[in-house]
Amino acid sequence: MEEIKHSRRQLLKMGSIALVAAPLVGFSTGASAKQNTAVRAALHFQTHPNGAKHCAVCMNFLPNKANENHSGCKLYPGDDEICPNCYCNGFVQKAG
């Protein structure tokens, strides 16, 4: 039962993040450089971890095997400067 509550909580969190980020994606996809500044601001992106919470253990993190210092994230379209030790309000712990 606890696992179901946890999954529902993650689903609600991701849904609310998508609602916040969706309008910003339209602005950022046409002018995506290396950083998606509009989404970074909306999700309060920071370049340091929040305790044990950091991008490398987030289910949205997209690691770049060629360059471990800069990777991507499902929540930041066009942004390839997401570091493994960064953090944002879109953080969702990987299962397992």
pLDDT digits (tens, 9 = 90+) for 30-66: 444 478 889 999 999 999 999 999 999 999 999 987 7
Nearest Cα residue to 9 out of 96, 92, 70: 92
- Arithmetic mean of pLDDT, 8-24: 68
Task: Return the C-alpha torsion angle 79, 38, 10, 19, nearest 10.
Answer: -130
DSSP bridge pairs for 64: none
Question: What's residue 15's pLDDT?
Answer: 66
pTM to 2 decimals?
Answer: 0.63
Segments making up each domain of the chain, as ranges? 2-73
Amino acid making up residue 65: K
